[in-house]
């Protein structure tokens, strides 16, 4: 096979879109980036023949390959995947340098896709997909590059540089789904449908392309559902038809480092866009709303003897002409709950077991770090004032064994950020609630308070100014209602506190002089009498 800027691969089993496909999407993205660096062809998913357990009736499939001049060519890669019938589990990658190849396969419905490589990168690549190949007798198929039309998708910035892209086809028949894809590291892809139409709505296809501009990057993705594969695709979106994602990477005051950002659609396998950031910095990526929701992954700079911190923001809804801003690794650090529908509760009572699993050091936007930077972390549980146990280790994670009867509990989790020095921040959350063993696991009535001031990317606020800080409530108090909520501030590391009123979901106070630390405390009682006292010492500094 000739050296080429494109690669192709197929799934030998049903491919699942959405969150369950994240691992596979990551593999595809990594391989695509490797192709960009190497400029060579590769197989994203190696093919392997699958032997049938029985010996069904077979037929000869002959496949002829013609290049753009109509000449037989050996520069191709063809894959045949069984969808339904006796050949449903078959998979073959037949090849003959003459350009004509035969293979015997059981009767059934198949997906055929073929990549034709030109004599060099400038010649371009052709991808021909036959979503419906009904093998019920000896059959000849001609894959002809002359039938293809260009994939002409480009951003509204004329000088933008093409990074990589992927074309992906899913075909469903009789409840089974098979797929094929092609990954490209250069422009010049042409595509075509081959053969008869499939059933209405049985062919789903998407093309994603990624571009780097002078000040912005682009993720352009489009999806189609039909009875045929695409023959060509032309999309030249205007800037106003795209949505803007701003990704801000923060570092501590006076520090520097390198972060990494990845942006990709939420649904289906893709390669994604990745770039490095010299922190503190902001990346701007324009994306197509037509592709649905988008995911952002951010990896912060590495620290000595600890892995880099990874943050994710999945399922971001985007709208044409609108900007969505996401900041990673910035203050105010504190506890945060996953508020997505169906999310796992932060605390659970299961028989005699009480378990806590809450990100205690989530960043200012509520993103939980994969490897939180902390000096020490402790969690304690009291039952009717008697200590049940103390756990040390990961912040906000602990498990205790108690007794079945109803009782009043006090659960306290604390962690010191950084190296434990006087300037390090310390987060403490103490909850009180009543609980008893139940027939099935029950979520504990825990709440958190989120402080989200508008801080610079070094975690600082201007000195000597009035700062308005949004105050949000998460967890049980949102469902049952808030009976009371008070907020206090301290500028002497918690030695003295000043109460500030909460008005329309915000508190306002004057910041101290330059280089001072501000601490925050919230005291909350929900409508059922459960309480929270949350303290964030050295929450942020002034400049």
Query: For residue 24, what pLDDT is reported?
Result: 39
For residue 422, name the pLDDT band (cuts at 50, 70, 90).
low
In the predicted model, is pLDDT for residue 112 greater than 50?
yes
Question: Which tops the pLDDT comparison, 446 or 53?
Answer: 446
Q: Is 432 left (phi over 0), alpha (psi -120 to 50) or beta?
A: beta
Say which residue the tokens 């990074």 belong to: 163
State the chain's mean pLDDT as an integer.
Answer: 90
- Do the beta carbons of residue 486 and residue 522 sit within 8 Å? yes
End-to-end CA distance of the chain: 61
Whole-model pTM: value is 0.86
In the predicted model, is pLDDT for residue 223 greater than 90?
yes
Q: Residue 48 has which token pair?
A: 């392997």
Whether 6-235 shares its CATH topology with 239-328 is answered yes
pLDDT tens by residue, 433-460: 999 998 899 999 999 999 999 999 999 9
| CATH entry 2.60.40 includes domain 239-328 | yes
Least confident piece of the model among 102-111, 124-133, 254-263: 254-263
Whether the link from the prior residue into 171 is cis, omega within 30° of 0, is no
CB burial string 122-144: b at 16+ within 10 A, e below: ebbbbbbbbbbbbbeeeeebebb
Query: For residue 1, what pLDDT is reported?
Result: 38
Query: For residue 34, what pLDDT is reported?
Result: 39
> How far from the centroid of its chain's Cα atoms is residue 62's Cα?
42
In the predicted model, is pLDDT for residue 21 greater than 50?
no
- Do the beta carbons of residue 473 and residue 461 sit within 8 Å? no
Backbone φ and ψ for 241, nearest 5 degrees, come out as -90, 0
Bridge partner list, 306: 303
CA distance 153 to 357: 45
In the predicted model, is pLDDT for residue 541 greater than 60?
yes
For residue 39, name the pLDDT band (cuts at 50, 70, 90).
very low
CA distance 136 to 235: 38
Query: For residue 252, what pLDDT is reported?
Result: 86
For residue 291, name the pLDDT band (cuts at 50, 70, 90).
very high
pLDDT tens by residue, 258-269: 999 999 999 999
Nearest to 356 by CA among 315, 388, 309, 322: 388
For residue 232, name the pLDDT band (cuts at 50, 70, 90).
very high
- Do the beta carbons of residue 354 and residue 444 sit within 8 Å? yes
Query: For residue 368, what pLDDT is reported?
Result: 96
CA distance 244 to 247: 10
Question: Which tops the pLDDT comparison, 337 or 306?
Answer: 337
Nearest to 409 by CA among 380, 438, 447: 380
Query: For residue 418, what pLDDT is reported?
Result: 75
Dihedral sign, CA of 382, 396, 475, 334?
positive
CA distance 219 to 222: 10
DSSP 8-state code for residue 420: S
Q: Is 20 left (phi over 0), alpha (psi -120 to 50) or beta?
A: alpha
Write down how long the chain is.
543
Q: Residue 469 has which token pair?
A: 């800080």
For residue 329, name the pLDDT band (cuts at 50, 70, 90).
very high
Backbone φ and ψ for 19, nearest 5 degrees, come out as -55, -30
* Mean pLDDT across 360-382: 95
Nearest to 91 by CA among 70, 113, 74, 120: 113
Share of the chain residues as helix, strand and coil, in percent rounded to the nearest 5 = 5, 50, 40
Per-domain residue ranges for the chain? 6-235, 239-328, 347-542
Bridge partner list, 210: 164, 219
Bridge partner list, 224: 205
Query: For residue 13, what pLDDT is reported?
Result: 32
CB burial string 478-497: b at 16+ within 10 A, e below: eeeeeeebebbbbbeebeeb
Whether the link from the prior residue into 332 is cis, omega within 30° of 0, is yes
For domain 6-235, give its CATH number from 3.40.640.10, 3.30.750.200, 2.60.40.1120, 3.40.50.1370.
2.60.40.1120
Q: Are strands 531-542 and 460-461 parallel, antiparallel or unpaired?
A: parallel
């Amino acid at each position: 096979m000739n050296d080429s800027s494109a690669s192709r691969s197929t799934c030998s089993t049903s491919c699942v879109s959405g969150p369950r496909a994240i691992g596979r999407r990551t593999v595809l993205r990594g391989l695509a980036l490797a192709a960009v660096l190497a400029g060579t062809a590769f197989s994203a998913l190696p093919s392997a023949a699958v032997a049938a357990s029985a010996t069904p009736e077979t037929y000869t499939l002959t496949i002829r390959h013609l290049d753009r001049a109509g000449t037989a060519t050996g520069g191709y890669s063809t894959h045949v995947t069984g969808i339904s019938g006796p050949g449903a589990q078959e998979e073959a990658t037949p090849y003959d340098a003459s350009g004509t190849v035969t293979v015997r396969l059981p009767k059934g419905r198949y997906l055929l896709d073929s990549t034709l490589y030109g004599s060099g990168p400038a010649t371009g690549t052709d991808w021909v997909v036959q979503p419906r190949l009904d093998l019920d007798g000896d059959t000849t198929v001609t894959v002809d590059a002359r039938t293809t039309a260009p994939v002409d998708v480009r951003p509204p910035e004329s000088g933008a540089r093409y990074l990589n892209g992927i074309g992906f086809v899913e075909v469903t028949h009789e409840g089974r789904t098979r797929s094929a894809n092609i990954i490209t590291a250069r422009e010049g892809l042409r595509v075509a449908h081959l053969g008869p139409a499939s059933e209405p709505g049985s062919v789903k296809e998407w093309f994603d392309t990624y571009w780097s501009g002078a000040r912005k990057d682009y993720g352009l993705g489009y999806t189609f559902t039909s009875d045929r594969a695409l023959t060509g695709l032309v999309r030249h979106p205007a800037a106003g038809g795209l949505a803007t994602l701003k990704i801000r990477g923060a570092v501590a005051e006076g520090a520097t480092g390198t972060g990494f950002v990845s942006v990709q659609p939420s649904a289906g396998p893709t390669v994604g866009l990745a770039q490095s950031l010299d922190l503190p910095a902001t990346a701007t990526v324009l994306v197509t709303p037509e592709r649905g929701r988008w995911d952002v992954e951010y990896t912060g700079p590495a620290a000595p003897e600890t892995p880099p911190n990874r943050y994710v923001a999945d399922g971001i809804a985007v709208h044409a002409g609108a900007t969505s801003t996401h900041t990673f690794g910035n203050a105010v650090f504190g506890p945060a709950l996953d508020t997505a529908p169906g999310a796992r509760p932060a605390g659970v009572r299961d028989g005699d077991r009480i378990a806590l699993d809450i990100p205690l050091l989530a960043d200012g936007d509520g993103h939980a770090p994969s490897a939180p930077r902390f000096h020490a972390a402790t969690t304690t549980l009291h039952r009717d004032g008697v200590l049940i146990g103390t756990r040390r280790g990961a912040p906000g994670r602990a498990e205790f064994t108690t007794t079945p009867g109803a009782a009043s509990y006090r659960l306290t989790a604390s962690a010191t950020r950084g190296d434990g020095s006087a300037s390090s921040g310390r987060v403490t959350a103490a909850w009180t609630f009543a609980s008893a063993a139940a027939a099935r696991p029950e979520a504990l009535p825990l709440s958190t308070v989120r402080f989200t001031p508008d801080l610079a990317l070094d975690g600082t606020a201007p000195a000597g100014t009035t700062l308005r800080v949004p105050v949000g409530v998460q967890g049980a108090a949102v469902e049952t209602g808030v009976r009371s909520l008070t907020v206090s501030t301290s500028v002497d590391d918690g030695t003295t506190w000043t109460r500030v009123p909460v008005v329309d979901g915000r508190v306002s106070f004057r910041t101290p002089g330059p280089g001072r630390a501000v601490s925050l405390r919230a005291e909350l009682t929900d409508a059922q009498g459960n309480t929270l006292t949350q303290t964030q010492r050295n929450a942020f500094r002034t400049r």
